[in-house]
A and B are shown apart, each in its own frame.
Chain A
Amino acid sequence: MTRLRVLLARLHGMATGRARDAALEVEVQTHLDLLTDEYLRAGLPAQDARMAARRAFGGALQTREAHRDERTWGFASHLACDLWLAVRRARSEPRVLTIIALTIGLGVGANAAMLDAANRILFRSLSVPRASEVVSLYNVDRQTGRYVGTSYSDFQEFARLPALQGLALYMRLPLGSVEGNHLRTMPGELVTPNYFSLLEVTALVGTTFDPQRQAADWPLVAMMGEDTWRERFAADPGVVGRTIDLDGRSFTVVGVVPRSFGLHNLNWLGRPAFWIPLDSFEQLHVVGGLSRREIGFLTLGRLRPGATLAQAQEQADVVARRLAAEAPDTNGHLDMTVFPAGQAKFYPGFRPTVEKSLSAFVVATGFIFLLACCNLITVVSHRNLRRQRELAVRLSLGGSRGRIVQQLLAEGFVFALPGFALALAAAAGVQHVVNAFPQMLGTGMALELSISWPVIVLAMLFSLAMAALLAVPALRLHRADVVRRLKDDHRTMTGSQGASLRTLAVAAQVVVAAALSAGSLLVFRSLLTNNGAEVGFDRSHLLTISFGLRPGADRAEGRGAVLAVARSLTQIPSVLSASTVSFPPLDGRQQRIMAGIPGEAPLTTEAAELRVGSSFFATAGIAILQGRALDEKDRLQGSGLAVISASLAHRFWPNAEAIGQTILLAQGRAAPQRVQVVGVARDVRYSDPWGDRRLFVYRLDEPPAPYLPALLLKTSGPAILTLADVHRGLATLPEGLLLTLVRTADTRFDQMLRPQRAAGVFLGVIAGLAMLVAGIGLHHTLGYTVEQRRREIAVRIAVGGSPVRVSAQILRRPAVLALGAAVAGTITSTAFTPLLATQAKGMPAHDAATFLTVGAVLLVGCMALAACSIARGARINLSQSLRLE
């Protein structure tokens, strides 16, 4: 109780400090008066009586200090005082405050955001209870080294692993919901009934699926995502029990899945809007059935308490070997790998690419942090020289080093606060860029990066660490130096106080600037190359249209409807021709197919297949180099005829004619089909502008492919001018057909380059800043060297030395160091650029022209700055210099 009372009294004392000081002053004065009166009564003269009273009272100042210490907490009181002083100093030094805030903001924000992104994407566990127990199983194909999903039959085998408490299957699929004339596609997830119970996810409203649910159970049920529930049902708790139509079927909503769950797989369409139990054969049939050949399912399991990942892996190996023996044609080359689920949030095959991309960005932002630290050291070091005298006076007046450090730390804290706020803003900006362009990390991902506690804590820690740099001057302070510091003026100091640290900081800045500039230049060069890339077809006169089917509509009828639309659109005067194609160009999708020549087994060449209409080559503007294009008469032979790309022809028959030859094509693990080559087409970059894959096989869509084709239109003028007419032509569509997307090929091309452009701009801004900061740092350091040795330069010039030679001699050391740093930076950048392979598509990582350009720019820049400083030094004259002192 007494302690609480003292605590409250001290808090009160801190709040009423001035009033208490005034009251004590009155008490002390009364005390001294009474004492003086007493001495006067004892016969002392007035002057002596006052002196004696003071002596008897003791130090009044000490009394006030002791009283203040008792009244408050000494540390807190000093801190409050220091903070107030720091705020006043910050207001009086707006330029320094701005520089420090910008330095910390830029250095810390981007770094914290990228480190958090790397942690979330690569390492963080799923947001489910006991997440460390959750694992993910992926098949790995020994022949290709690729990770693939699991078949339903294999899942049943692996679900019985003793180390696992259970295994659940899931598969993403788009679910269609009709809105007017458009088909709205939402991400859905098909899951085994034990999915939610195994992951211990509880419903926000209603219940999760019953794990004992049987295939024959009725009605069909679904769970809804929290976002969908809030957006479409205004968070109505009565949604449970309602019926919704998805893909033409009615589902009863049984519960709402909380938002905290749903991003366990970043690779697909984002957070699922609905979950449907995989509990009827009908649904299984939709996605491929129970066949071992269908390997589109993914798994999530939970380890039994006490079981380890290694045990699960051993047991999975045993089962995989058994399955390989039982079904050699489907499982003979499959191994099973068990991953912690947090480290398999996307296909493990992408992991090296994503790791490399994230490393590149983390290194780049780390460079910025280093740069910021160097910059801060330079600023602090210059500020320190200006404050030598002030700190020395404080020290000589009895201030302890600890108190001065505390005060400088408080100053650093106050100076860092705006920087911290800027850092959060910068982090939000970086997160926005990464969320918008996840492809710049190497693969499309559904990311929802936002300012969270880890980012705030990281930013705060980094900001405080940088703020602590401001207290460095006090650590170098010794009482022994006081006299010298008081005597010396910083302008006349010839010592190397802090000079080496500053020079090293500048050298580091130059190195960092070189590495970042090389990376950025490489990405920009790649962007320029890809921007002007010849894709091999006429994209400026090409329009692409994608369709969907109304739920319940027949796919064959849908294809007929697309052909009818194509015929009607060719009536538009500016449309020259139209053709169907399995995928529109430049949307990143490919239908992979294994190709080979007769006698080759197994087929080892992976190519991309396009099922096209008879006028495809004329519409797309792809030149036929040998033989002929496919035409309507070829439909009689179905898909037995093909046109292949020049690269594929060269691969199979480098020295022979390809026309008339036979190739073998196999889809998945199906038996190879013999196809006759009738033409060789020019190589095209059909899927993406950088065109890594140029091996294409074109076949007629006869018999019709199992998916709805897209439509290509060749226009007489720029495609964008025909867009309005085409939209009018698509206003009424045949029954069952829905419009998904109408885009020009140019727009698609532009969209494909956006992630790369974002990466380029991101790196470019960072590199630009690095160059600027390094330039300013170097300029300051060289200028400071001249300023410090002004008297020496003046004297040497006065006694007959050549001004240029004297200045050059003095600046030789820092200038040579900067030039050395430029060379070292160029060499360092060769280690950095390989990390940018994903962003710099189409450019070699060690592009000599890039390094030479960066090296040359840096060398010229350093020499120019050194020349400026030499010119400045040469202008010094003795009388002016001495007058200044």
Chain B
Amino acid sequence: MPRLGLFVLTVNRNRRSLMQEQGDSMDATLSPVPYGTLDLMVLKTLDVMGPLHGYGIARRIEQMAQGSLALNQGTIYPAILRLEQKGWIRGSWGTSENNRRARFYAITAAGRRGLADQVEDWTRTVSLMTRLLNQRT
């Protein structure tokens, strides 16, 4: 395993490091988190899985991505904060699997409504893009 520098300062450098670590074969398969989708991913995860802490949310997203997503797990926390500020999720302190203090997040009723709206928007966007990309000359 190649030695990496200790000071990983940017996302790009970090991503490059991760790719170096996991071998060149990962380059083609890893894709960055599409802009603006992380909040939706977090919300859907909490809707499906119930209350989770930050690590749990990140692991679940990676699990669902099946190794195709280059996710810096730290970026989960600003997304969680955004959703909390909107009142779509609510956090409460609890104890993690390794017996440490962790903050568990759960989706709220407003969050479910927000999720439904976002899913509808996303579906509409995807179908539009699909139609556009599948059109023939």
* A interface residue numbers (CB < 8 A to B): 2, 5-6, 9-10, 13, 23-24, 26-31, 33-35, 37, 48, 51-52, 54-63, 66-67, 69-71
Contacts and interface: CB of A to CB of B under 8 A. Distances in A.
A67 B8 CA distance: 18
A58 B75 contact: yes
Contact of B75 (A10, A55, A63, A69): A63
Contact of B78 (A33, A56, A63): A63
Contact of A62 (B11, B21, B82): B11
Contact of B86 (A5, A13, A26, A31): A5
Contacts, number: 100
B78 A9 contact: no
Contact of A67 (B11, B81, B103): B81
- Closest 5 A/B residue pairs (Cβ): A58-B72, A63-B74, A9-B85, A58-B74, A66-B78
Interface string B76-106: 0110011011110000000011101111000
A75 B58 CA distance: 30
B116 interface: no
Interface in B1-42: 1, 4, 8-11, 14, 17-18, 21
A591 B54 CA distance: 96
Interface centre among A27, A48, A70 (most CB of B within 10 A): A27
Contacts of B96: 30, 34
Given A27-B53, A59-B10, A69-B78, 6 more contacts: A31-B74, A33-B98, A51-B4, A52-B21, A57-B74, A66-B77
A3 to B, nearest CB: 9
A13 B72 CA distance: 24
A10 B102 contact: no
Contacts of B77: 24, 27-28, 63, 66-67
Contacts of A28: 74, 77
Contacts of A35: 55, 73
A51 B5 CA distance: 10
B78 A57 contact: no
Contact of B87 (A2, A52, A61): A2
B55 A31 contact: yes
A10 B78 CA distance: 13
- B contact patch SS: helix
18 contacts: A9-B84, A30-B96, A30-B98, A30-B101, A30-B102, A31-B54, A34-B97, A37-B98, A48-B1, A51-B4, A55-B18, A56-B72, A62-B10, A63-B74, A63-B78, A66-B77, A67-B81, A70-B82
Contacts of A70: 78, 81-82, 85
A62 B84 CA distance: 20
Contact of B73 (A5, A6, A57): A57
Contacts of A69: 78
A864 to B, nearest CB: 58
Contacts of B74: 28, 31, 57-60, 62-63
A35 B54 CA distance: 11
B78 A58 contact: no
A33 B96 CA distance: 10
A48 B77 CA distance: 24
A58 B98 contact: no
B75 A66 contact: yes
Interface in B98-137: 98, 100-103
Contact of B55 (A5, A9, A34, A63): A34
Nearest to A24: B77
Contacts of B102: 26-27, 30
A414 B137 CA distance: 66
A498 B101 CA distance: 57
A30 B55 contact: yes
Contacts of A27: 53-54, 77, 102-103
B85 A31 contact: no
Given A2-B86, A34-B98, A66-B75, A58 B14 contact: yes
A148 B86 CA distance: 74
B14 A5 contact: no
A691 B102 CA distance: 93
A1 B67 CA distance: 38
Contacts of B1: 48
A33 B86 contact: no
Given A57-B74, A63-B78, A26 B101 contact: yes
B10 A55 contact: no
A6 B86 CA distance: 6
Interface centre among A26, A31, A51, A55 (most CB of B within 10 A): A31
Nearest to A26: B101
Contacts of B18: 55-56
Contact of A59 (B11, B53, B86, B100): B11
B86 A30 contact: no
Nearest to B11: A58
Contact of A5 (B11, B21, B87, B100): B87
